Amino acid sequence: MTIALIAHDSKKELMADFCRAYKHILSQHTLIATGTTGHLVEEKAGLPVQKFMSGNLGGDQQIMTRIACNEVDMLLFLRDPIGAKPNEPFEMQLLRVCDVHNVPAATNIATAEMLVLGLGRGDLDWRTIIPPQQLQV
């Protein structure tokens, strides 16, 4: 499965630590990420990551396009919920695209852990069984 990783600046270290903690599960899957987050995960967790541009340069849009094309099976997006962000409308679009394409999405560490543990148990294997076009609303 392909897992997309995005993290706000204040959550990048947490994402790297999370990936290091769940390396045994994540290493069995393809990881893609925005540039800075991807570099940090590679460096701290030792996992290979296909990196796109940094989020502020369009990397998050690149990932959203992959989700819309059914090339992503899960999104781990660690957001900083404190304070308004200039790109909040885009973040809502990103989550909407996940909803349209039935892509499980986590926006905090607790939900990310539940999704990754479920992934390890095989709870998300339905993503590889049901053709993507049947998942769309």
Q: How far apart are the first and last CA of the chain?
A: 21
Q: Residue 35: helix, strand or coil by DSSP?
A: helix
In the prediction, which pLDDT does 135 show? 53
Contacts of 61 (CB under 8 A, 6+ apart): 90
Catalytic residues: 60
Rg (CA), the chain: 14
In the prediction, which pLDDT does 130 show? 67
Q: Residue 130: helix, strand or coil by DSSP?
A: coil
pLDDT exceeds cutoff 70 at 137: no
The residue that leads in pLDDT, 84 or 129, is 129
